[in-house]
Amino acid sequence: MKVLMERGNQFVVSRNKPIEEQVLDIISSFNQGIKDVELKGYGREIDRTVDVYNVLKEKLGDGVVLVDVSIGSEFKDKRRVSYLLFRLRKSF
């Protein structure tokens, strides 16, 4: 299973892959020409999503802009699961 699952421009964070690798996956997408990226974490991965964003911001600085932050919940496997969604834009 690919841990930082990529769906077009959406990355879903998981605990099985180091944060640095997840950040590199997003930077690689930016380098391939994708301008907008969604970074999403469910349930216990919400805190890790914030960590991925902070490391990405630390590495790229003003090269990445936080466009929007959303919180909510979705039904997964007949259970309601909370999520955190960051919408990011490449600015370099």
Q: Model confidence over 15-68: pLDDT tens digits?
A: 899 999 999 999 999 999 999 999 999 999 999 999 999 999 999 999 999 999
pLDDT score at 28: 93
Instruction: Locate 15 and state its tokens.
Output: 């605990």
CA distance linking residue 72 with residue 83, whole number of Å: 6
**pTM, full prediction:** 0.87
Helix, strand, or coil here: 47?
Answer: helix
Strands annotated E in 1-92:
5-7, 10-12, 36-42, 64-76, 79-90
